[in-house]
Amino acid sequence: MEPILAWLVEPLTYPFMLRGLWAALMIGLVVPVLGCYVVLRGMAFYGDALAHIILPGVVVAFLLGWPLAVGALIVGVLAALTIGGISSSTMIREDSAIGVVFAGALALGVVLLSLQRSYAVDLAHILFGDLLGVSPADLALMAGLSSVALLTVLLFYKEFLVLSFDRVLATTMQLPVRTLNNLLYVLLAVVVVISIQAVGIALVVAMLVTPASAAYLLTRRLGRMMLLASAIGAASGVIGLYASFYLDVASGPAIVLVATAIFGLIFLFAPGRGYLWKTAYVPVQNLPVLVEKER
């Protein structure tokens, strides 16, 4: 018991590791919740694009000496509303609108960045995350944004559910469909900004899509899917951070690799829906249920 405990505690004696762990845990818990909407609504490309679009905001904030997350948040929200505006007011399809804004913003970000001398080092941090460089102020901002995101999902849970399941019903019920859609896009921008610190622009899509997809293989209820995705995300964050400490590898990619491995295991072994299960057994989920448990 003693050596295991020491092994677990040792990294936490470094303050930067402790902050990194808190950040990994927070990101792992919150981002996959929004990721469930991304997976169910087929918005993976949107999430990936949003992360790259944020680059110029990060660079400008860096130049002005602001917290990077503030610049990222402003650009992220603007981009979310711009994409929504282009695709709802013209003939251009949403994925094309995303592509236009995505490429333009990324190019602008790289140009701005190349004006800097420390180009190479900073780009690597922005692209692949720097969990060990999280400052106490970063951590506080992350906690604030995470709470706002979770609280909003909780408050609008039933509206987002109807909107994602059956848009026609949402319209028939006279819900403010466009406002709710924009709210969801802004929330996505918020969690993308949170996760950039951990896994970087290039791998944000992993935090959005991988835990939620794994959870989707395990349940057919949105609430449970969100809880499971959260658990998988948090486990990936913590295990990935320890792996990066002891194996001396970059923390962001380590977290993503752990999440991918968990997805792989669930994909193979999920009861009823896993690949091996499906090839070996007859599915039992379609048998009639005679006695239902109370809610």
Partner 1 sequence: MSLPQQHDSQAPPIRADRLSVRYDGNLGLEQVSFTVAAGERVAVVGPNGAGKTTLFKVLAGILQPAAGSVEIHGHAPGRHVCVGYVPQRATINLDFPVSVAEVVMMGRIREIGLLRWPSRADWSRVDSALTRVGMQFYRARPIGSLSSGQQQRIFLAQTVAQEADIVLLDEPLTGLDLPSQEVIFEILDDLRHRPVTVLVATHDLSLASSHFDKVLLLNRRLIAYGEPQATITPQNLFEAYGGHLHVFADGKLLVDTHHEGRQ
- Would you tell me which residues interact with partner 1 (CB under 8 A)? 40, 155-159, 161-162, 164-166, 168-169, 171-176, 216, 219-222, 224-225, 285-286, 289-290, 292-293, 295
C-alpha–C-alpha distance, residues 101 and 105, integer Å: 6
Q: What angle do CA 23, 59, 107 make, to 5 degrees?
A: 115
Summary count for the chain: helices (H), strands (E): 15, 0
Q: Kindly tell me which of 95 and 122 has the beta carbon lying closer to partner 1.
A: 95
Q: Kindly tell me which of 9 and 168 has the beta carbon lying closer to partner 1.
A: 168
Q: How far is the CB of 37 from partner 1 (least distance, A)?
A: 11
Q: Kindly tell me which of 34 and 225 has the beta carbon lying closer to partner 1.
A: 225
C-alpha–C-alpha distance, residues 4 and 10, integer Å: 10
C-alpha–C-alpha distance, residues 203 and 255, integer Å: 10
Q: How far is the CB of 189 from partner 1 (least distance, A)?
A: 22
Q: In this structure, are residues 195 and 138 in contact, taking their beta carbons and an 8 Å threshold? A: no
Q: How far is the CB of 284 from partner 1 (least distance, A)?
A: 11
Measured N-to-C along each axis, helices 94-114 and 44-53 cross at an angle, to the nearest 10 degrees, of 30
Q: How far is the CB of 195 from partner 1 (least distance, A)?
A: 23
CA torsion through residues 184, 187, 193, 199, sign: negative
Q: Kindly tell me which of 25 and 180 has the beta carbon lying closer to partner 1.
A: 180
Residue from 229, 244, 254, 264 nearest 28 by CA: 229
Q: How far is the CB of 47 from partner 1 (least distance, A)?
A: 18
Q: How far is the CB of 172 from partner 1 (least distance, A)?
A: 5
CA torsion through residues 143, 144, 149, 155, sign: positive
Residue from 30, 21, 82, 25 nearest 54 by CA: 82
Q: How far is the CB of 238 from partner 1 (least distance, A)?
A: 26
The dihedrals phi and psi of 66, each to the nearest 5 degrees, come to: -85, 165
Q: Kindly tell me which of 137 and 173 has the beta carbon lying closer to partner 1.
A: 173
Residue with tokens 């602008």: 108
H or E element that contains 237: helix 222-247
Q: Kindly tell me which of 107 and 151 has the beta carbon lying closer to partner 1.
A: 151
Q: Kindly tell me which of 66 and 275 has the beta carbon lying closer to partner 1.
A: 275
